[in-house]
């Protein structure tokens, strides 16, 4: 049986729980914003000390993206969004 988008979101959240444990040691966090099944793109929002951290791009690409792609074949890319980009996106929609 094929996985639904809801199934994939659950898998993403489970994988992000692993990442959250490490980020919490640095007073940071990550929130799942969206998963777009058509493109395989996961949008996340960094939280806490991760916001503005010089290593945040590496956290997203070398940490979160690599993990998600290795355990969830449907994930092709992970992008970080900020509150301002999400607000803009909602107004444009």
Task: Please answer whether residues 34 and 43 qualify as being in contact, where contact means their C-beta atoms are separated by less than 8 angstroms.
Answer: yes
Whether the predicted pLDDT of 93 surpasses 60: no
Phi, psi for residue 54 in degrees, rounded to 5: -65, -20
Tens digit of each residue's pLDDT (9 = 90 or more) over 73-86: 999 999 999 875 44
Global confidence as pTM: 0.84
Domains and CATH numbers, the chain: 7-92 (3.30.300.130)
Query: Sorting pLDDT into bands at 50, 70 and 90, what band is 87?
Result: very low
Q: What whole-number percentage of the chain has pLDDT above 90?
A: 80
Instruction: Count the alpha carbons within 13 Å of 21 in the hemisphere toward its beta carbon.
Output: 5
pLDDT digits (tens, 9 = 90+) for 19-45: 999 999 999 999 999 999 999 999 999
């Amino acid at each position: 049986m094929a996985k639904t988008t809801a199934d994939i979101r659950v898998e993403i959240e489970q994988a992000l729980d692993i990442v959250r444990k490490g980020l919490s040691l640095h007073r940071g966090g990550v929130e799942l914003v969206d998963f777009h099944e058509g493109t395989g793109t996961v949008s996340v929002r960094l939280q806490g000390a991760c916001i503005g951290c010089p290593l945040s791009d590496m956290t997203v690409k070398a940490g979160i993206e690599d993990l998600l792609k290795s355990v969830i074949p449907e994930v092709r890319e992970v992008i970080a969004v900020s509150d301002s980009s999400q607000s803009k996106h909602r107004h444009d929609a």
